[in-house]
Amino acid sequence: MAEILVLVDHVDGQVRKTTLELLTLAARAGEPAAVFLGSGYGAARDTLGAHGAGKVYVVEAGEFEQFLVVPKAEALAHIASSSGAAGVLVTSSPEGKEIAARLAVKLGSGVITDAVDVAADLSTTQSVFAGGYTVTAAVTTGTPVITVKPNAVTPEPAPATPVEEKVAVAFTAAATRARIVDRAPRAATGRPELTEASIVVSGGRGTGGDFAPVEALADALGAAVGASRAAVDLGWYPHAYQVGQTGKTVSPQLYLAAGISGAIQHRAGMQTSKTIVVVNKDPEAPIFAMADFGVVGDLHTVLPQATAEIEKRKG
Amino acid sequence: MRIVTLVKYVPDATAYRSFAADNTTDRAGVDGLLSELDEYAVEEALKIAEAGDGVEVVALTVGPAGADAALKKALQMGAGAAVHVVDDALHGSDALATARVLAAAIGKIGSVDLVLTGMASTDGGMSVVPAMLAELLRWAQVGFVGELSVSGSLVTARRDGDTASETIEAGLPAIVAVTDQINEPRYPSFKGIMAAKKKPVQTWGLADLDLDPATVGLGAAWSVVREVVKRPERAAGMVVTDEGDGGVRLAEFLADQKFI
Ligand SMILES: Cc1cc2nc3c(=O)[nH]c(=O)nc-3n(C[C@H](O)[C@H](O)[C@H](O)COP(=O)(O)OP(=O)(O)OC[C@H]3O[C@@H](n4cnc5c(N)ncnc54)[C@H](O)[C@@H]3O)c2cc1C
């Protein structure tokens, strides 16, 4: 069976959950082989092995941290060509999509973005037009390059002892054209990563600027916090937490929208959530049309009461 | 300095969007407009032009006949000139074919220092064209930019990544994709609307760009849509009105669904 390459998404060897999802999908189509670029492989090794990476290509080079995506695309193209891989899976993040785009050009291959599922024949499922349609597609030329959204699949344990192959890559002049001169890591919130979380509680303009009830409910549920663009534009919550067309796309088991009207651009970022719960004081708010459960009421009383009840039930 | 802004004509997202019989986006049956996310790129180009001397802004689109509406909007906002690449053979082109056409058009426009684009189209939304274009032209590219400045032959960009806020420097020529955080696009003024009528719009076909029609269009796409299915409407859920116990009932629902 041919290898299916999975680009490891990590911070200093801390592997993100999406990578484990990609390894699980890769196992359907071939032999999962991880591609680890940058430093910290020692910290990643066991996690990758535990999720089925029978092979790991490791490229250590300072360029990955100093420059934008091109060195990563060049390394991945090098490995994709030399390994004869049958497909390449990359996380659907802004960076992942740029890497995939460049890789597709380098390999002369078709690319599919934002897959929510990948089948054994590497055909994909996508959700398009703000979740209004489901599209099945496949790459027909070259080595399929596919970016996959978080939460596409539940990562499955599949113990393997990775065979490691260190790869040296000679970068081109194009690799060093966009230099990262400063990087300020975001302060940790202690909450799950928004795109990976299985529960998301979001607040909008209806919070009136007070996100405390939203955060308290999120913490009671072990959830991530999200926000509408209105709340972000008003400076109430950081942009990194915006859900929607120009923010993050989330697809959690449970999405709870409080004080959010449900504009199409917001729906584009959360429509594929499994269960949707709404709290809004306007019974005519469009978001109720997609709710599995809704409360018409003031979030400033409904959310704290729900939080207290949840704490009580948890004991 | 010459800035090209890439603009796309897309179906209105607030209207009913669907697919044509060949599984391509239906562009005939729905009103179109300039992709809202490209307005931020046009605005940013105009701001750079207004702050500097001798900066020229050219709006470029690849699209069907109606796509000139997107160019018109860019000209009304303040772009100085426009180029429309239109050719029947382009129907159904994938992102890479589109990037190849854009690269050829940028070459023909000539002496381009900076290409500005939106962060994604509001229809396909792949976000891959800027990176593909950079790969083809072998220029620097920075995506997802929330703050931009140009001085001399250097662009400095700031962006909020997933895990960090980054500052990036790149030499010109470069391609920069901007987010909706970067500025507040202007509405065309009456003066702008009148002035746009006299601005030059060039129309090029594939032959003008020395491109082989066999390398673009639906038939030359490197991926294929096998099936398009309308997602069933979500079944109507239960909505209760808070009568003092809304929070408790919400918690009960969550407990029933095993979220607690
Ligand atoms: C190009 C473009 C991109 C965009 N991208 C995004 C995006 O990524 N994400 C996004 O979210 N939006 C996006 N938008 C904006 C979008 O169109 C809406 O303006 C935005 O989603 C509205 O946010 P909101 O629902 O919080 O505010 P509103 O629409 O003002 O709704 C507030 C809701 O709160 C309710 N409410 C008020 N007070 C209370 C209370 N005390 N208790 C309970 N409910 C209350 C109201 O009934 C109302 O339904 C984009 C727009 C454009 C043009």
**CATH assignment of the domain containing B87:** 3.40.50.620
In a domain, B75, yes or no: yes
Distance in angstroms (rounded) separating the CA atoms of residues B82 and B68: 9
Mutation for testing the B interface, residue in A98, A121, A228 having most B CBs under 10 Å: A98
Report the pLDDT value the prediction gives residue A246, as an integer from 0 to 100: 92
Closest partner residue to B254 (CB to CB) among A113, A142, A310 is A310
pTM, whole model, 2 decimals?
Answer: 0.94
Where exactly are the structural domains of chain A? 3-176, 199-314
CATH architecture assigned to A199-314: 3-Layer(aba) Sandwich (3.40)
In a domain, B257, yes or no: no
In a domain, B167, yes or no: yes
Report the pLDDT value the prediction gives residue A192, as an integer from 0 to 100: 94
Average pLDDT rounded to a whole number, residues A10-23: 96
Average pLDDT rounded to a whole number, residues A89-104: 96
Q: Atom 14 of ligand 1 has which residue's CA nearest to it?
A: A265
% of residues, chain A, pLDDT over 90: 94
Report the pLDDT value the prediction gives residue A188, as an integer from 0 to 100: 82
User: Which residues of B fall within a CB distance of 8 Å from A175?
Assistant: none
CATH architecture assigned to A3-176: 3-Layer(aba) Sandwich (3.40)
In a domain, B254, yes or no: no
Using a 6 Å cutoff on CB, does residue A260 contact ligand 1? Answer: yes
Report the pLDDT value the prediction gives residue B124, as an integer from 0 to 100: 79
Q: How confident is the model at residue A209 (pLDDT cuts 50, 70, 90)?
A: very high
In a domain, B242, yes or no: no
B240 touches A: beta carbon within 8 Å: yes
Report the pLDDT value the prediction gives residue B22, as an integer from 0 to 100: 83
Mutation for testing the A interface, residue in B160, B216, B254, B258 having most A CBs under 10 Å: B254
Q: How confident is the model at residue B13 (pLDDT cuts 50, 70, 90)?
A: confident
pLDDT reading at B29 higher than 80: no
CB A291 within 8 A of CB A277: yes
% of residues, chain B, pLDDT over 70: 100
Report the pLDDT value the prediction gives residue A289, as an integer from 0 to 100: 93
CB B87 within 8 A of CB B202: no
Overall domain count for chain B = 1
B119: closest chain A residue by CA: A246
B164: closest chain A residue by CA: A185
Report the pLDDT value the prediction gives residue B87, as an integer from 0 to 100: 97
CB A244 within 8 A of CB A265: yes
The secondary structure of residue A196, as a DSSP letter, is: T
Helix (H/G/I), strand (E/B), else coil: B39: helix
B37 touches A: beta carbon within 8 Å: yes
pLDDT reading at B133 higher than 90: yes
Report the pLDDT value the prediction gives residue B242, as an integer from 0 to 100: 97
Average pLDDT of chain A to the nearest whole number: 96
Beta bridge partner(s), residue A243: A248
Upper half-sphere CA count for residue A7 (Cβ side, 13 Å): 31
Helix axes B129-137, A94-107, angle to 10 degrees: 40
Average pLDDT rounded to a whole number, residues A229-241: 95
Report the pLDDT value the prediction gives residue B21, as an integer from 0 to 100: 82
Host domain of residue B169: 2-220
pLDDT reading at B31 higher than 90: no
Q: How confident is the model at residue B23 (pLDDT cuts 50, 70, 90)?
A: confident
Atom of ligand 1 nearest to the CA of B39: 1
pLDDT tens digit sequence for B75-125: 999 999 999 999 999 999 999 999 999 999 999 999 999 999 999 988 878
pLDDT tens digit sequence for A134-144: 999 999 999 99
Report the pLDDT value the prediction gives residue B239, as an integer from 0 to 100: 97
Nearest Cα neighbor of A222 from B250, B259, B132, B23 is B259
Report the pLDDT value the prediction gives residue A189, as an integer from 0 to 100: 85
Top mutation candidate among A229, A279, A301, A305 for ligand 1, by most atoms within 8 Å of CB: A229
**Residue-wise burial string across A82-93, b where 16 or more C-beta atoms lie within 10 A, e elsewhere:** ebebbbbbbbbb
Upper half-sphere CA count for residue B224 (Cβ side, 13 Å): 7
Average pLDDT rounded to a whole number, residues A100-121: 97
